[in-house]
Amino acid sequence: MAFAWMSRLLGRDQSQLQKAIELSKRLVSGAGETGGTIVAQELANCTAALNDEELFQYFRWLVDDMAPDQPVLLVAAQAYVSEPSTLNAARLTEAAEPRRQELLRRLNTAPGGTARIVALRGKLLTLLKAHPELKPLDIDMKHLLASWFNRGFLELRRVDWNTPAAILEKLIVYEAVHAIDGWDDLRGRLAADRRCYGFFHPALPGEPLIFVEVALTNRISDAIAPLLDHPPAGREASPETTAIFYSISNCQPGLRGIGFGNFLIKQITQNLRAETPSLRVFATLSPVPGFRRWLDAGGQQLGTGLARLCAMYLSGVQADGTPGPSRDPVANFHLSNGARLDRINEGADLSAKGQAESCGVMVNYRYVATAIEENHMAFVERGEVRVSPAVARLLRSSTIEP
C-alpha cells in the first residue's frame, strides 16, 4: 500500500511530511479556491523545511499517489484500444496527465513558487541515481519546466560591472569551467574587452539561468591563461576582430536538461555583431572533458601525437578508422549547434583540471554564419563532423595503418 512506508516515520519528521502531503491534497483538489495562493504559499514553505529523508518520502508520495487516476486511465486506455479515434485519443491524453502536474502548476502560483519548484527538481536529480523509481516525477517536472522556461519567455541580458552585486556574486558561484577567484578576478572578466551575457526568466528575476563569457581579441586564442589574466599581459589596442567564447556555465541544477544553450550562442553572436561591427570571427576555446578517459579506455592505442589523437577522438573516428559519433559532451554541444572543429591546441590549459581531464588540450570550435545550418544538419542527420582544412590534414596523417 502506498502509505505503508510512512509508518516508519516518527515525531517531527512524520508531522512535517504529513503536513506537506495534506497541503498538497488540499491544493490539488480545491476547485479555483479563493485561498489557492495561500495554500500554495504554505506548501512552498513546508517543502523548503523538509529534510532529505522527508523530501525523499514526499517525492515517493508524488510518484505513487499523484499519478494519473488509475481507474479513469484504465477506462480511457481501454476505450482507445477498442476504438483509436481522435476523440478517444483526446480523452486519453486528459486522463493520462498525472495529478502532480496540476499540483505543481498550483504550487507555482505562490510568491517564489517557480524558484521553489526549480529547487525541488535540483534535489530530485541528486536522489534520482540511487532511486530510479522517482523517474516519473522527474519526467513531469522536466516537462513543466521546459514549457515554462520556453525560449519565448527568456530574456538575454548583458552582464557587466553595472549589474547588481547580487547577480554578479552568482557568477562567482556558478562558473563551472574556469573558476573565478573572487571579486577582483570577476572584475577582470567584465573588463572593457570582455563580454558576458546571461539568460534570465521573469519569475527568477535575480537568477541567471546560464551565462557565457566572451573575450574580444584579434586572433583565435590558443591558450586559456592569457584570457584569464588581468590586466591582460599585452592586451592589444588593435581593433577587435574575434570573439572567443571561453566559458559557458549552467547556473540552475534544477533546470538540467532544459537546454537554452544553442539559442544563447546564436543570439549572442548577433548581439556582438551589432554592437562591435569590427568582429568577423566567432569561435570558442573549449575543454575536451572526455579526452583523458577516452585515451585510457583504449584510444591511446590508435596512434601517436596528442593533437592527432584528440582530433580522432572529437571527430569520432572509430578504432577501425571509420567515422562515428563524437563522444565528447562539449563537442556534441557545439557541433550540433553548427560549429566546425577548427583547431586543436596542445598545452592550452595547464591547470590541474585541464591536465586531468583534457591532457592540457583545448579546442576551437568556430561558428561561420553561412555554414551553421549545413554543419548542423550534417552532424545531426548523418553524424558527420565538419572540420577545418588543418584538422582534416591532421586526421589524414593519423589514418591507422596496420
Q: How far is the CB of 303 from a second copy (least distance, A)?
A: 32
Residue 322 makes contact with a second copy by CB under 8 A: no
Residue 194 near residue 216 (C-beta atoms within 8 A): yes
Give the type of residue at 224: I
Residue 369 makes contact with a second copy by CB under 8 A: no
Residue 233 makes contact with a second copy by CB under 8 A: no
d(CA 146, CA 153): 11
Q: How far is the CB of 64 from a second copy (least distance, A)?
A: 7
Count of CB atoms situated within 10 Å of the CB of 91? 17
Q: Which residue has the cell 515517493?
A: 60
Nearest-CA neighbor of 122 among 250, 248, 5? 250
Residue 127 makes contact with a second copy by CB under 8 A: no
Residue 358 makes contact with a second copy by CB under 8 A: no
Residue 159 near residue 207 (C-beta atoms within 8 A): no
Please pick, from the candidates 49, 81, 173, 400, the single residue that binds a second copy as defined by CB under 8 A: 81
Q: How far is the CB of 219 from a second copy (least distance, A)?
A: 26
Q: Mark the segment that binds a second copy (CB under 8 A) among 201-209, 232-240, 303-311, 354-362.
A: 201-209
Residue 356 makes contact with a second copy by CB under 8 A: no
Q: How far is the CB of 170 from a second copy (least distance, A)?
A: 11
DSSP labels, 305-346: -HHHHHHHHHHT--TTS-------HHHHHHHHTT-EEEEEET
Q: How far is the CB of 398 from a second copy (least distance, A)?
A: 29
Widest CA span of the chain, in angstroms? 76
Q: How far is the CB of 188 from a second copy (least distance, A)?
A: 13
Q: Looking at beta carbons only, is 76 or 244 nearer to a second copy?
A: 76
Residue 179 makes contact with a second copy by CB under 8 A: no
Q: Mark the segment that binds a second copy (CB under 8 A) among 11-19, 259-267, 291-299, 349-357.
A: 259-267
Q: Mark the segment that binds a second copy (CB under 8 A) among 138-146, 246-254, 354-362, 388-396.
A: 138-146
Q: Mark the segment that binds a second copy (CB under 8 A) among 16-24, 229-237, 256-264, 382-390.
A: 256-264
Residue 289 near residue 239 (C-beta atoms within 8 A): no
DSSP 3-state assignment of 59?
Answer: helix
Please pick, from the candidates 25, 26, 105, 256, the single residue that binds a second copy as defined by CB under 8 A: 105
d(CA 330, CA 207): 24
Q: Looking at beta carbons only, is 101 or 351 nearer to a second copy?
A: 101
Please pick, from the candidates 74, 176, 356, 400, the single residue that binds a second copy as defined by CB under 8 A: 74
Residue 286 near residue 330 (C-beta atoms within 8 A): yes
Q: Mark the segment that binds a second copy (CB under 8 A) among 28-36, 217-225, 242-250, 319-327.
A: 28-36
Q: Looking at beta carbons only, is 14 or 88 nearer to a second copy?
A: 88
Q: Which residues are catalytic?
A: 286, 334
Please pick, from the candidates 17, 21, 62, 63, the single residue that binds a second copy as defined by CB under 8 A: 63
What is the grid cell recorded at 274?
Answer: 551589432
Please pick, from the candidates 98, 198, 254, 316, the single residue that binds a second copy as defined by CB under 8 A: 98
Residue 66 makes contact with a second copy by CB under 8 A: no
Structural element, H or E, at residue 234: none
d(CA 284, CA 365): 5
d(CA 365, CA 343): 7
CA 104 to chain centre: 22
Residue 168 makes contact with a second copy by CB under 8 A: yes
Touching a second copy, residues 287-306 (CB under 8 A): none
Structural element, H or E, at residue 253: none
d(CA 388, CA 250): 29
Touching a second copy, residues 1-20 (CB under 8 A): none
d(CA 185, CA 162): 16
Q: Mark the segment that binds a second copy (CB under 8 A) among 119-127, 181-189, 298-306, 314-322.
A: 181-189
d(CA 335, CA 341): 8
